Chains A and B, each alone.
Chain A
Amino acid sequence: MIEALIKFLCAIVWFLLLSLYLTWAERKESAVMQDRVGANRANFFGFRILGLFQPLADAIKMMTKEDFTPAFSKRFLHNLAPFLSFFFVAVTISTIPFGSHLMIGGKEFRLQVIDLNVGILFVLALLALSIYGVILSGWVSNNRWTLLGGLRGSAQLISYEVALGLSLIGIIMVFPSLKFSEIVGFQSELLFGWLPKWGVFLQPLGLIIFLMAAMAESERVPFDLPEGESEIVGFFTEYGGLKYGLYMFTDFMKVLIIACLLTTLFFGGYHVPWLYADGFHFPWGGDWLLPHGIVVLFQVIMFNLKVFFFCWLQILIRWTYPRFRYDQLMDFGWKFLIPLSLFNIAATAVLMSL
């Protein structure tokens, strides 16, 4: 019980801190892409350090702003909506494995808060529930524009949920389990004797579909018409202060969760190629034996590196492309991604029976 609590605390602190610094990463990466410097003024007693205090400054600013509810709207629902968004996305971190086991004093701790039998479905269910934050906020603000934004946002989210689920069926067929730890375990086997059996090598099409559907789920450019700031000005217009901060934060948490899912399902999670429980065993001969703690450390570092890489990739895609128009977005989801994922399932089935 205590163990689960400690693990949850570690996971959630890692998650929230990383989401916070994802805002910093986004600002700096977009600045590099756009030939400018980015935010670097926030300082702490004169130390600027590349603007690393900027997220803290943002958090303080959001917390100290006025918390208002527009007239003619229900107070309780207005407060509930950002909480729903935030809560359901934050809980998904509890199923992601950070490492294999850690042996402290003879007892074995799994580096995963909870290892559900239906891990993947749990994550999908929670992402489905986070749609309610969008709808509720759009409706409760008593404003035509936000209502439009909320409805369109949720329509987009439920459309791409289908593609998301279908793209994962291929993975479930290849690694026959729904548990995250078992999927990562399957990925540490070797294909052809030297290639680790990562999802990307077995399901490249599934990866592409999942990436696009997941980016649509996180409602970032090029899929961000519902919150299109310069077009219909989003569904969170009537929110200020910390509630608005929660929405923005949820955006980055979704980016992080998508990166975690990508690494766990397609890129081997915490698995370092050719690293086993006692050290490296390279396929071309040669071993490098390591103590257990170092092995776990390598795994955790590798997991973090992969997650950072995918966050970087999503930020890159966000700042490059213009946005889709709404009907093109729905066309893309229904008429392109779903048939493609069905084809992927069929092709996987055919190839597996060979």
Chain B
Amino acid sequence: MTTRIQKEARKESLLINMGPSHPAMHGTIRIMLELDGEKVRNSEVEVGYLHRGFEKTCENKTYFNLLPYTDRLNYVSPLINNVGYVMTIEKLMDIKVPERAQYIRVIMSELSRISDHLTALAAMTMECGAFTVFLYYIKAREEIWNVIEKTTGARMTTSYIRIGGVRTDLHPDFKTDVAKAMKVTRDVLRDVKGLLDKNKIWIDRTRGVAVVSPDMAINYGFTGPCLRASGVKYDVRKAHPYLVYDRLDFIVPLGEKGDNYDRYMVRMKEMEQSLRIVEQCVEKIPESVPEVKGKIEPAEAIKASRARKPDAKIKLSPNLKGSEKEKYPSILTDSKGVKVPPKEDTYTGIEGLINHFKFFMRGHGIRPPKGEVYFSVEGGSGELGYYIVSDGTDQPYRLHLRGPCFHIVSALEEMIKGHYIADVIPTFGSTNMIGGELDR
């Protein structure tokens, strides 16, 4: 099957394939290049190697079931995907989220954003040959993932955010852990600044390469750091504030020319701003409900419930820790029918059992009213939008993800035209293409 470029290429140019398996094509993408010596005359980008049928799968899953699928979209910043999806449902069903849960969501989003930028820049610099910088970034990312793991239970595919709030409260040592992770990240950012910012080799490599003018960026539908590197000031957190972003103080860094160096600098500066946001949130977050003393084992609680003393405080198993019933008001909404009832109620009372049963039963559970909704959050690569059409049942009729990478990669052909083949790699790395988000 001849592709477009095979038909269009001139006879004397060299057709080269940067195939799906290439060390620099993270996330499997195929770029076919028509070379004239060293310069790229024309190119064709072929996506879809990681298409897993996410949107179709979602039509057969209930709203609660498809939460883990959203983790795997932009798999380096999974919490932001979770937040985006969940907030779309909340907009559709008009659910209010308690304030502590909102602050927790913001903290987790920003930590995810930092790890997304760290991964993107690590890959970009490693492919340009700066191996030490890659390992410094990964060290900082490890610290952040340790913090996320202690709260959510997983490093990468967290499924932490729930409709109406979050799954569990932050772990008790959160403040110290986050402070340590932020210190390590700040040290790493300072080291990398010294290593790369004014480094002649790095500047030669990235300055003036793949320049994207503001008009071109808007025409293609860029959002996120790539758009801001071209000088257009659009950040979903400032333009359409959601959660508690309107109460926080942060700036949106802009680039000047829109070349690879600006995209690198914008990401570095955004990481500092995200660190500031996390610090402010950790100070401003409302206190959580203190833990209740004198809890009893589940077997005794069942006995106690049979003796009609249903208010016993049960000691939950360790992997449900943080989701005790007394914490529910601060991390989950009050609306009925959208959250999993607390285990203490499920195992000791008939109402809890029925609530639990109806939540998970096919045909019942979360049934938003008929209608359609679109909501977007600021993802690691740009505006991450969810469009859901509901027909009143417990499964979405249609779910569409507006993946920011798709629009940025669609401009890749024009970005690398006329540059050298060795420029393709940093250009591609600076677009932060994540396969899961691009191909869904």
Q: Does A216 have its Cβ within 8 Å of any Cβ on chain B? A: no
Kindly identify, within residues 216 to 260 of chain A, every residue whose CB is under 8 Å from any CB belonging to chain B: 221-222, 224-225, 228-233
Residues of chain B with a CB closer than 8 A to A221's CB: 129, 131
Q: How far is the CA of A230 from the CA of B134 in the complex (A)?
A: 13
Cβ contact within 8 Å between B128 and A233: no
Cβ contact within 8 Å between B135 and A323: no
Which of A34, A144, A228, A323 is close to B201, meaning CB atoms less than 8 Å apart? A323
Shortest distance from the beta carbon of B138 to any chain A beta carbon, whole Å: 9
Q: Which residue of A lies closest to B123 (CB)?
A: A230
Residues of chain B with a CB closer than 8 A to A325's CB: 204-205, 420, 422-423
Q: Which residue of B lies closest to A33 (CB)?
A: B132
Q: Does A322 have its Cβ within 8 Å of any Cβ on chain B? A: yes
- B131-170 interface bits toward A, Cβ cutoff 8 Å, 1 = contact, 0 = none: 1110110010000000000000000000000000000000
- A313-331 interface bits toward B, Cβ cutoff 8 Å, 1 = contact, 0 = none: 0000001111111111000
Cβ contact within 8 Å between B425 and A322: no
Q: How far is the CA of A297 from the CA of B129 in the complex (A)?
A: 41
- State which size class the interface on B falls in: 20 to 34
Cβ contact within 8 Å between A322 and B136: no
Cβ contact within 8 Å between B23 and A322: no
Cβ contact within 8 Å between B201 and A322: yes
Q: Which residue of B lies closest to A221 (CB)?
A: B129
Cβ contact within 8 Å between A322 and B196: yes
Which of B38, B129, B196, B425 neighbours the largest number of chain A CB atoms within 10 Å of its CB? B129
Shortest distance from the beta carbon of A312 to any chain B beta carbon, whole Å: 15
User: Given A322-B202, A325-B205, is A144 in contact with B14 using a C-beta cutoff of 8 Å?
Assistant: yes
Residues of chain A with a CB closer than 8 A to B422's CB: 225, 228, 231-232, 325-326
Cβ contact within 8 Å between B421 and A321: no
Q: Does A35 have its Cβ within 8 Å of any Cβ on chain B? A: yes
Cβ contact within 8 Å between A229 and B136: no
Which of B14, B135, B199 is close to A36, meaning CB atoms less than 8 Å apart? B135
User: Given A35-B139, A230-B425, A322-B128, is A327 in contact with B195 using a C-beta cutoff of 8 Å?
Assistant: no
Residues of chain B with a CB closer than 8 A to A320's CB: 130, 132, 195
Which of B127, B132, B205, B423 is close to A34, meaning CB atoms less than 8 Å apart? B132
Residues of chain A with a CB closer than 8 A to B425's CB: 230-231
Shortest distance from the beta carbon of B30 to any chain A beta carbon, whole Å: 15
- B179-205 interface bits toward A, Cβ cutoff 8 Å, 1 = contact, 0 = none: 000000000000000011001011011
Shortest distance from the beta carbon of B429 to any chain A beta carbon, whole Å: 10
Shortest distance from the beta carbon of B389 to any chain A beta carbon, whole Å: 43
Residues of chain B with a CB closer than 8 A to A33's CB: 132
Which of A30, A144, A233 is close to B23, meaning CB atoms less than 8 Å apart? A233
Residues of chain B with a CB closer than 8 A to A327's CB: 38, 420
Q: Which residue of A lies closest to B16 (CB)?
A: A144
Q: Does B43 have its Cβ within 8 Å of any Cβ on chain A? A: no
Cβ contact within 8 Å between A326 and B127: no
- B110-134 interface bits toward A, Cβ cutoff 8 Å, 1 = contact, 0 = none: 0000000000000001111111110
User: Given A232-B421, A324-B201, is A222 in contact with B129 using a C-beta cutoff of 8 Å?
Assistant: yes
Which of B38, B133, B195 is close to A326, meaning CB atoms less than 8 Å apart? B38
Cβ contact within 8 Å between A323 and B128: yes
8 example contacts (A-B, Cβ-Cβ < 8 A) are as follows A30-B131, A34-B131, A229-B23, A233-B22, A320-B130, A322-B205, A324-B201, A326-B420
